[in-house]
């Protein structure tokens, strides 16, 4: 490791990053597979992936003269605290939020620290482009090439030290830095992540049909959730961690040193409390949270589905109020939830 790279890694660690590795600039190894995945329609409504396809597979189009890609990882694991109970019998339960969304918005936190690292590299003659889940790069491919982790069968990156609970960020730079070795694939014959997927979205090792993924359905999809998939969502209201939770490499995960990722008020509310949020209350509760991106209409849509799956007669009044909401998307899913609860009640009586 040369002096510049060593000093940069130390600075990145001081700023809270738990992994810092380097890859040479070049076409990512799965560029062709990515193209086929798009052509098959697996991206669903995520049209921006296709619009930026050429740039995603050619870093030179993102930053002319780029020589190295620095891949950073930041641990967000909050230890054993949890909402791991997946039994649907619990009435009036708290909905499940993906762990990455428990705390403050990682985009804002990490972007601020990337700007500091950008300035540090600029002082040493580099030009940079910095991204955290926001730019036209195949970040997991770059992370694998740099050795931050390897491609799990769930398509998620797995780190021997961090498990699956970390954010990725990338810095493309014109500086030439020594490249690191890729990590060895350590999944072996394990298929726990595939078995754990509630909707069968991981339809083959290393292949995900996003259109069936609960994270896509509850976050990226803007309209109605397909009725045939609603029962499979259970009590999840923002994302899904099932394939991550199933990974045995998480036995090595350590609690994050970043307190900003600790659970906030909104992720501790019951489903009925969430369903009762006004527009003003939603903005207050989820200000600075990743959840704000789906807006009130998206969250209440998801909450209605969750109550349709786990709710009981005591939840009917809240759903009836939601069925009079000004937002048609909320009304549609509230009506579906009321029908589901009515079916369960009738079944219990008979």
Which sequence positions are flagged as catalytic? 133
C-beta of residue 163 within 8 angstroms of C-beta of residue 250: yes
CA distance 194 to 190: 9
311-335 core/surface letters (b: 16 or more CB in 10 A; e: else):
beeebbebbeebbebebebbbbbbb
CA distances from 61 to 19, 52, 65, 302 (A): 26, 10, 9, 38
CA distance 207 to 17: 29
C-beta of residue 99 within 8 angstroms of C-beta of residue 188: no
CA distances from 146 to 70, 93, 168, 183, 252 (A): 8, 42, 12, 8, 21
Structure token digits, residue 136: 């036209």
Tell me the three state secondary structure of residue 141.
helix
Interior angle at CA 99, CA 98 and CA 102, nearest 5: 100
C-beta of residue 213 within 8 angstroms of C-beta of residue 240: yes
CA distance 68 to 173: 6
Tell me the three state secondary structure of residue 22.
strand
C-beta of residue 149 within 8 angstroms of C-beta of residue 143: yes
CA terminus-to-terminus distance, the chain: 71
Structure token digits, residue 27: 């076409």
Structure token digits, residue 282: 């939603």
């Amino acid at each position: 490791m040369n002096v510049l790279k060593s000093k940069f890694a130390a600075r990145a660690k001081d700023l809270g990053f738990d992994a810092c590795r380097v890859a040479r600039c070049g076409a990512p190894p799965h560029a062709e597979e990515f193209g086929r995945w798009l052509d098959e329609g697996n991206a669903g409504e995520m049209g921006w992936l296709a619009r930026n396809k050429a740039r995603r597979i050619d870093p030179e189009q993102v930053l002319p003269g780029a020589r190295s890609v620095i891949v950073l990882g930041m641990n967000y694991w909050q230890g054993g605290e949890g909402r791991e109970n997946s039994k649907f019998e619990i009435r009036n339960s708290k909905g499940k939020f993906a762990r990455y969304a428990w705390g403050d918005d990682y985009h804002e936190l990490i972007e601020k620290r990337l700007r500091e690292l950008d300035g540090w590299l600029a002082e040493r003659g580099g030009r940079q482009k910095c991204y955290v889940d926001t730019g036209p790069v195949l970040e997991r491919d770059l992370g694998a090439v740099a050795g931050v982790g390897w491609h799990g069968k769930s398509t998620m990156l797995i780190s021997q030290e961090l498990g699956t609970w970390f954010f990725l960020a990338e810095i493309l730079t014109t500086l030439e830095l020594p490249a690191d070795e890729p990590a060895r694939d350590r999944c072996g014959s394990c298929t726990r992540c595939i078995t754990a997927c509630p909707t069968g979205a991981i339809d083959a090792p290393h292949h995900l049909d996003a259109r069936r993924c609960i994270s896509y359905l509850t976050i990226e999809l803007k309209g109605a959730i397909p009725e045939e998939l609603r029962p499979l969502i259970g009590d999840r209201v923002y994302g899904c961690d099932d394939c991550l939770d199933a990974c045995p490499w998480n036995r090595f995960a350590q609690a994050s040193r970043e307190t900003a990722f600790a659970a906030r008020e909104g992720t501790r509310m019951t489903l009925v409390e969430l369903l009762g949020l006004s527009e003003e209350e939603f903005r207050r509760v989820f200000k600075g949270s990743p959840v704000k991106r789906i807006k009130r209409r998206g969250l209440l849509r998801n909450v209605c589905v969750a109550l349709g799956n786990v709710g009981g007669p005591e939840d009917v009044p809240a759903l009836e109020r939601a069925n009079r909401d000004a937002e048609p998307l909320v009304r549609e899913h509230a009506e579906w939830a009321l029908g589901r609860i009515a079916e369960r009640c009738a079944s219990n009586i008979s």
